Amino acid sequence: MADRKALLERLDAYARSLDARVKQVFANVSSSFTDIRIVRMDGADLHDVRPLVRLNISVVVEHNGKRETGSAGGGGRFGLERMLQGEEAERLTREAVRLALLNLDAIAAPAGPMPVVLGPGWPGILLHEAIGHGLEGDFNRKGTSAFAGRIGQRVAAIGVTVVDDGSIRERRGSLNIDDEGTPTGRTVLIEDGILTGYLQDKQNARLMGMQPTGNGRRESYAHPVLPRMTNTFMLAGEASPDDILKSLERGIYAVNFGGGQVDITSGKFVFTTSEAYLVENGKIVAPVKGATLIGDGPSVLTRVSMIGNDLELDPGVGTCGKDGQSVPVGVGLPTLRIDELTVGGSEA
Amino acid sequence: MSDLQTLSAQLIDLARKAGAHSADALSVADVSDAIRVRHGVVESVEHEDSRGIGLRAFVEKKEDGKHGLAFASASTSDISAAGLKRLVEQVMVMARISEADPDAMPPVGAVHPDARQMTEWQKHHPCPDSAWSIEAARDAALACESAALGYSDKISNSEGAESGFGSMSVAYASSDGFAAAYDKTSASLSVSVIAGKNDAMQRDYAWDRQLSSTTLRKPQDIGREAAERTVKRLGAGGLNSGSMPVVFEPRVATSLLGHLSSAVNGRAVLQQRSFLGDSLEQSIFPEFISIADDPDHPDGLGNRLFDGEGSRCSRLQLIDQGRLTAFLTDRYAAGRLKTTPGGHARRGLTGDIGIGSSNLVMQAGPLSRQEMLHEIGNGLLVCELIGFGINGVTGDYSRGASGFLIENGEITRPVQEITIAGNLRDMFRGIRHVGSDLTWFGSVAVPSMAIDGITVAGQA
């Protein structure tokens, strides 16, 4: 407990030392070890230990009477020691301060459909909202998802491959076994643009005549199992990130996001920028204020025209909500160009 | 005294013996049932029975010549003697490493309700039985879903109907001797259905929640509302970008009151995290807008006699003819903002005290929905919002929306895949009309609102 307090005090002082415009600092760190035992009627008796650490820091800056905020976070499935030592906590603090100061100069985002380039890492929340939820087994068994009955159909451009992988070491969304004891692994959701798979728990897999994929998850013993994502990301392509940005004649380059949401049935999804830039003729013009991007899950990836060679997974901040249950998840993306997405700015 | 009250009092005693300056405790026992049906068949039945107790303890600290109180809080579900002892030890360790705050507000000397007020309150706010058995709840869900499915042959699928009911007992005690307990029940019914097929599917929903199932809307009415809403969305298309008046129907207008409530939260104001922090006594709405926090309203589910610190609650005018007249406060925020504690402390079993409204009630206006659409002429009616694009520090606003196009005062077609954006300051000031259709959603009562000059993004 004292170690965590010392870490937060260190970050508070550090954030304020970075820039005199930093007026408020909010930092919190949480760490847990969850002991899991799963006993099944088929005689399986399984055990797992799941560490989870998360640090979050947000700051309020003020300059010439104008206030703004920025935040950053990170973590994963490892012990607290790693966050207490090393540079990661300081790096996240610098990131929060940088974002807040950047936002002070942000102009209103444009409004309307336009090309969008997404940066690598956390912008993979696009996949989580646009694709991942719609491919969860329960919605497809019930026929309530916009993706229902579409296996084998083209839902993305050539070159787009999206996977869900719960077996990656130390990632926030990773699990050795899911909450029904099924080992996690890599499930290919979209392969070269073609829809290939759903995310399954045991019940929905059985009812659909498919195999469980290690995606049966529950918030705690007090919640029922649902098919859920683990770490959802797009595999890297071949384009250089620079070339992708240079290709943008007029549009938005979005590097960081807050949360998102999806209407499973109509397929419409949103996610909101927290760091984005107006780009003209391949050059960054100015940072823009947070804007919600809205699109259509089953068609958005058909408009992907360039895929970067720089796949990154997010820093370990994602929490996914479904039916009132929260579980930690990860996402990832290479730099990506989408030829058209509606940007919900206030500058009509 | 109830078992829970004895437990809370015991904990405070233990904390004092362990060296605490002062302490307060909250215990909660919760029993709830939920049943979900889909296509006329029971899909799941859930039962939950949980109890827990939370302790907040303050300790005196002297460091570098500075003097003050530090506190910590923790909770447990182990209410054995050994469990309570461990909880006290844990909280004391945490409090001792916490920072002293010269403005700390220990749970001593709050303005509590007196014995007469407590008796009166219980007389006027009897706790009804939720009045459902699991069978009756199932039958209500079945009737609700059946009404939705039978509404039109355009209804093609169901996400199911769910009914839930439960009761909760809460006991609070503080080291200045205040102790009180109350029970609360609830019953709810919701349904969600789908119309259309393949890539043209639409979904919508309807719900109600009350203290007792006897006062819930009829299951058939909830079912029909969900189906009617869903069918109306069929064939939704896009809409070209532009600035236009937007009508928020009551069920989405609640979110605007939610943003107001967050912005007038005294703790957010202290932390410079509110875009309304410097706006006290200023006109932030047009003159015809008044909004109150009312902890004793016959239609509200947020009624309370005392808050999470045992402070007595009373009605507070937040917006008076457009002017921001008060912030929501607990004792800490009130102390630092130099005002009277408003009785808005909200606390869970663990963690710091938060601030929240009781019942948030907006005054209705003169116009029917139809009259409002006629006044607007051309614009957008919003029926659903998704996403989280609100910056509480600046008031910047951008969210996903769906609804209906308004042309020449009439609803002409459903629209989707659009966003609405602006700044909450401008949106509050830009309210042109308020409807007469005041509607309660649990603890928020709000009419339709028409707001000028919102940027809509989309593509027809």
Whether chain A has a CB inside 8 Å of the CB on B94: the answer is yes
| The pLDDT of residue B424 is above 90 | yes
Encoded amino acid at B8, one letter: S
pLDDT in tens, A33-91: 999 999 999 999 999 999 999 999 999 999 999 999 999 999 999 999 999 988 999 99
Chain A residue with minimal CA distance to B93?
Answer: A1
Architecture of domain B3-33+44-115: 2-Layer Sandwich (3.30)
Chain A residue with minimal CA distance to B420?
Answer: A344
Distance between CA atoms of B424 and B444, rounded to whole angstroms? Answer: 19
What separation, in Å, do the N-terminal and C-terminal C-alpha atoms of chain A show? 50
Whether chain A has a CB inside 8 Å of the CB on B241: the answer is yes
Query: Min CA distance, A265 vs chain B (Å)?
Result: 6
B432 torsion bin: left (phi>0), alpha (psi -120 to 50), beta (else): alpha
Distance between CA atoms of A17 and A4, rounded to whole angstroms? Answer: 20
Whether residues B387 and A1 touch (CB distance < 8 A) is answered with: no
Tokens 């995606």 — which residue?
A: A215
The residues, ordered by sequence, that sit 6+ positions from B339 with a Cβ below 8 Å of its Cβ are: B326, B327, B329
Whether residues B399 and A111 touch (CB distance < 8 A) is answered with: no
Among A146, A139, A119, A120, smallest CA distance to A299 is for A146
Among A146, A262, A323, A138, smallest CA distance to B190 is for A323
Query: Min CA distance, A24 vs chain B (Å)?
Result: 7
Which secondary structure element, helix H or strand E, spans residue A39, and what is its range? strand A22-39
Compute the Cα dihedral for A286, A292, A298, A299 and give only its sign: negative
Whether chain B has a CB inside 8 Å of the CB on A222: the answer is yes
pLDDT tens series, chain A, 348 aa: 788 999 999 999 999 999 999 999 999 999 999 999 999 999 999 999 999 999 999 999 999 999 999 999 999 999 999 999 889 999 999 999 999 999 999 999 999 999 999 999 999 999 999 999 999 999 999 999 999 999 999 999 999 999 999 999 999 999 999 999 999 999 999 999 999 999 999 999 999 999 999 999 999 999 999 999 999 999 999 999 999 999 999 999 999 999 999 999 999 999 999 999 999 999 999 999 999 999 999 999 999 999 999 999 999 999 999 999 999 999 999 999 999 999 999 997
Q: Which of A258, A262, A346 sits opposite B388 (nearest CB)?
A: A258
Q: Which of B46, B203, B242 sits opposite A348 (nearest CB)?
A: B242
Query: Min CA distance, A258 vs chain B (Å)?
Result: 8
Give yes or no for a contact between A327 and A319, defined as CB atoms under 8 angstroms apart: yes
Whether residues B98 and A260 touch (CB distance < 8 A) is answered with: no
Domain boundaries, chain B: 3-33+44-115, 236-460
Length of chain B: 460
A156 torsion bin: left (phi>0), alpha (psi -120 to 50), beta (else): beta
Whether chain A has a CB inside 8 Å of the CB on B456: the answer is yes
pLDDT tier, B65 (very low <50, low <70, confident <90, very high otherwise) = low
pLDDT in tens, B349-361: 887 899 999 999 9
Q: Which of B44, B50, B393 sits opposite A68 (nearest CB)?
A: B393
Q: Which of A146, A224, A292 sits opposite B201 (nearest CB)?
A: A146
Among A308, A348, A290, A332, smallest CA distance to A111 is for A348
The SS3 of residue B390 is: strand
Q: Which of A260, A268, A346 sits opposite B416 (nearest CB)?
A: A268
pLDDT in tens, B217-243: 999 999 999 999 999 999 999 999 999
Give the pLDDT score at B64.
Answer: 67
What are the strands of the beta sheet with B323-324, ordered from one edge?
A: B323-324, B316-320, B291-293, B360-362, B444-446, B439-441
Neighbours of A283 (CB within 10 A): 11
